[in-house]
């Protein structure tokens, strides 16, 4: 899988096309996991404002 990822990245550098997994997709994917971990550690439900990307107060 690493070869395909690197190959796609290099092709995008050459052609200036968007990669299969761009930064925004990676950010949103990681964000969901981070928010789940925060809720678990605080042992509470959290509300999240996706527009401002902030956890809202109680």
Structure tokens at 50: 């996706």
12 vs 21: which has the higher pLDDT: 12
Instruction: Give the confidence band of 22 by pLDDT, cuts at 50, 70, 90.
Output: confident
Q: Count up the domains in the chain and report the number.
A: 1
| Percentage of the chain exceeding pLDDT 90 | 81
| Domain span including residue 14 | 2-55
Dihedral (C-alpha) 30, 36, 39, 40: value to the nearest 10 degrees?
Answer: -120
Segment 10-33 mean pLDDT: 92
| Percentage of the chain exceeding pLDDT 70 | 100
User: What are the tens digits of pLDDT across the range 27-55?
Assistant: 999 999 999 999 999 999 999 999 999 99
Other beta carbons within 10 Å of 31: 13
């Amino acid at each position: 899988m690493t070869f395909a990822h690197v190959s796609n990245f290099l092709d995008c550098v050459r052609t200036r096309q968007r990669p299969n997994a761009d930064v925004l997709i990676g950010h949103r994917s990681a964000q969901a996991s981070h928010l789940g971990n925060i809720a678990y550690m605080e042992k509470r439900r959290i509300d999240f404002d996706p527009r401002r990307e902030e956890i809202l107060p109680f």
